[in-house]
Structure 1
């Protein structure tokens, strides 16, 4: 009985830390996805997809830049302290968006909401810092689980809000949830024990140079997708990104204590894990975009399932919720079988499901079953990658390393989204004038094959992951 008490106390302390962090990550995930349900109303109110699209773009840009920068500030100044600042700024952004009808202020609010992209690397850093080594994979899996389930539910929740209120209510709900998350972290997560302001002063320039590099690259990809990669603005964005990237790398390699350590990305375990994330983000991360369109497209056009928007949203919901629930089992599998075997298995599940979709995509139940298989495979890889990176990164740079992981993922996702959109658009027009605006069946089959190939490359990359989980780096 006396031996059970310390174990019970340790478990209680573990969940007192994890649950507030899960609440914070739920807020970040819902802020990302609920807006999609309101896009039709926002397009109507602001006069077109280009204007309304900036509500998504501004969020993604600040999310990508903030993940690495605020993650590193958390490593130096205290992860709880920076987490509270990030949640507070994101909540203020929600409040601004909830009370304005001006597009400029709405974009400003969404950019502030996007700072919530730093929540997950800060959570990973807190888990590594405050949790026993054997519980770190479980902690990471629970954070990933909350993000996955919340993201999957965001479209449905956002749809219900828009159906019964208006788009401003989405931001009011986000603000209320942000306030709850702030209080939960403030009360239940113990204050930081250290702060290294000198580390910030040593290389503030390096941190500032990273922002235009990350933002410029994502803007170049985004603008190139709809205006063309020879468009003058695309070329300007690309030039800013390249010059800033070169200056940033030169700066970080020349200082003794860089704010964001480029050398960390070259560490084999971290490098191969990020490369695996690139292969997955290029392909299977586009599943939501692909299946939302395929699900709603009428079979009369030669392809599609002919579902309503709501039912199409439910196509991936069961798969994503099921996947989120099994994430803790993925953490245990990594401990028992090692990241290499686990990640390879996940990639091969994605390969099998999308190859099957090439042949069988007419029946709704068959499609849903295959989406469950691919979602579980993706979830396995999605949890394994941060487990590897968190374990390989030095204790004082965990949030930085996972923040850079988020930047790399966002960039690869942007490239993958443009690739998939191009493949689908080039496949249109084979069924006459009345249906030419929709992708053809052959176009969907090519996209399914593209996703399968990227996942197969991922399975090959996974062979470079460690065979077993080593003791975390100090």
Structure 2
């Protein structure tokens, strides 16, 4: 059994008898608000090396492992869908709107996270975790049996909703049952569990070409099913709440319903607009402008409500003070921007610049996915092992991310090895800043705001990623729409294509490749030259994305340099125990 000082015992101690720990960056006489009790904040009590004792039993270990499985499994529906997207579209349809499968997942995962984290810190995690994981499994079942595009979109929305909330609950659950100073180790272990899923690009290609893409979905379903069963039987954390001492009806009365509605509406409208703009609709279209404006207004109203009117806010002001959590928020936001540039556009090199067989294409993407995982493992470990220097680890990762993602602009059809190496190192750096930044924030936040803090970080990362995708995609499309036809024509003409056939050749090349042989003057060598021109056009268009990522990386690096020192907060204090 895990034994620790009950957090509720600390709340019953007189504040004057305790050493009060202030968050770095606050004035010495400004005491940081802590848990909400009867609508008012208590002070954060600093733990020491005698107030937390952790004894692992077999059931505690298994419960902990189940949480790590749920965390890992919650990320896989998106990866296995994105990795098999072209095969799914061929099977269920939706060729013109196929990207709405990952978009539906991302939207559904990001929107409820802030409110879900808030509710977890009030009502506890167990039931929310079990419900969210069950919802993910329902979505996986629908996706695995889908025979139409609308079915697949609904399935991805259900998967995203459940997986986003479950990932949040598992992250918070894993961090609160270990000493504060061990949270980095805990998060590192939780992340390393994802290593077997790291080669998912290869898995997706092999399953889709030699069996069916549906087997990837069934694998994730089985994995999550085992984790859900284990958590249902073994995961019973001690209860602690932002609203201790209140009757249940008073707790329900004090929930920030207005803030929840504004955050849900604002994020939904904003993310829909960002994902539609320049892709499905023109940026000047009412279908983009209306949700974009309404989303910005709703988020603005949310900020005002939380700042001046909410009694128990979803985004407490305490999280925006000091030199740690606010900068961790910014790093997560900017990290999301650059993570999306890397994860969404680097693979285009492997599919459109280097035309190879599916297995080779999948193998080249393994370095990127494993790099993100192991960057996160090493970075989170560093936070606990060397807390005094943790901010410099994050700073270096930001600098490496900026350099190597930016260096992908040098990719071209003749250097696949370079792109694989640069994307792998860039992935290591992205993992080494996104997860450690989250860990950094959980160390500094009040005990009863762990899920709230993680929820805000995940939401900011998703919003940053959507903004980044909107920026990068529009840059890419604008460049490609110009370069692709002209470069194909240039290479084909240089190979001997008559100028009079250039327009017809390019049109057929891009829309009806089977008709190329009917174009006057076309030979196999000319078709090969056109394909070579296509590869160079993609490479030339992609480089502008990676150039654009550099300023975002510089911002993240600057914030990381000014992160506060978490060393005074690295104690043996344990927030919750596992009761058996």
Distance (Å, rounded) in 1 between the aligned partners of 2:318 and 2:364: 39
Q: Which runs of 5+ in 2 are unaligned?
A: 1-51, 490-505, 507-529, 576-580
> Do 1:32 and 1:151's aligned partners in 2 also have CA atoms closer than 8 Å?
no
Report the Cα offset of residue 38 of structure 1. 3.2
In 1: Cα distance, 2:75 partner to 2:310 partner: 36
Corresponding residue number in structure 2 for 1:311: 360
TM-score, normalising length from structure 1? 0.87
Shift of 1:194: 4.4
For residue 7 of structure 1, report the CA deviation from its aligned partner. 9.0
Could you say if the C-alpha distance between residues 16 and 338 of structure 1 is closer, same or farther in structure 2, counting changes exceeding 3 Å?
farther
Q: In 2, Cα distance between the equivalents of 1:105 and 1:370?
A: 38
Q: Distance in 2 between matches of 1:11 and 1:471?
A: 27
- Residues in 2 aligned to 1:223 and 1:455: alpha-carbon distance in whole angstroms: 25
2:464 matched to 1:464? no
Equivalents in 2 of 1:14, 1:191: separation in Å?
A: 10
For the pair 1:77 / 2:123, whether they are aligned, the reply is: yes
The aligned residue for residue 250 of structure 1 is 304
In the TM superposition, what are the counterparts of 1:417-428 in structure 2 within 5 Å? 417-428=469-480
Query: Is 1:431 aligned to residue 487 of structure 2?
Result: yes
Cα displacement string for residues 188-237 of structure 1 (whole angstroms, at most 9, x for unaligned residues):
32244346554443122321221111111100001113112211111121
- Higher-helix-fraction structure: 1
- Mapping for residues 313-462 of structure 1, pairs under 5 Å: 313-325=362-374, 327-335=376-384, 336=386, 337-359=388-410, 362-428=414-480, 429=483, 430-433=486-489, 434=506, 439-462=537-560
RMSD of the TM alignment (CA)? 2.9
Deviation at 1:119, TM superposition (A): 2.3
The answer to whether the 8 Å contact 1:30/1:150 transfers is no
Partner of 1:3: none
Match of residue 144, structure 2, among 65, 82, 98: 98
- Tell which deviates more after alignment, 175-184 or 259-268: 259-268
Work out whether residues 58 and 111 of structure 1, in 8 Å CA contact, stay in contact via their aligned partners in 2. yes
Partner of 2:338: 283
Of residues 251-260 and 399-408 in structure 1, the stretch that sits farther from structure 2 once superposed is 251-260
Partner secondary structure for residue 112 of structure 2 = helix
Counterparts of 2:70 and 2:436, CA distance in 1: 21
Q: Equivalent residues in 2 for 1:197-236 (5 A)?
A: 197=248, 198-202=250-254, 203-226=256-279, 227-236=281-290
**Greater radius of gyration (CA):** 2
Quote the residue 1:300 is aligned against. Answer: none
Paired residues of 2:379 and 2:394 also in contact (CA < 8 A)? no
**Aligned ranges 1:126-275 → 2 under 5 Å:** 126-147=173-194, 149=195, 152-194=198-240, 197=248, 198-202=250-254, 203-226=256-279, 227-268=281-322, 269-275=324-330
Which stretch shows the higher mean deviation, 456-465 or 226-235? 456-465
**The residue matched to 1:427 in structure 2 has which SS?**
helix
- CA gap 1:13/1:60 in 2 versus in 1, 3 angstroms: same
- Mapped contact 1:420–1:447 kept (Cα < 8 A): yes
Check conservation: 1:339, 1:465, Cα contact below 8 A. no
Distance 1:470 1:11 in 2: 29
Measure how far apart 1:100 and its partner are.
4.0
Aligned-partner Cα distance in 1 for 2:302–2:407:
44
Verify the 8 A CA contact 2:259 2:302 in the aligned structure 1: yes
Go from structure 1 to structure 2 and tell me whether the alpha carbon gap of 1:100 and 1:47 turns closer, same or farther (over 3 Å shift): closer
- For residues 100-133 of structure 1, the C-alpha deviation after alignment (integer angstroms, 9 at most, x for no partner) is 4344343222211112112232123213321112
Q: CA deviation at 1:23?
A: 0.8
Q: Distance in 2 between matches of 1:391 and 1:461?
A: 18
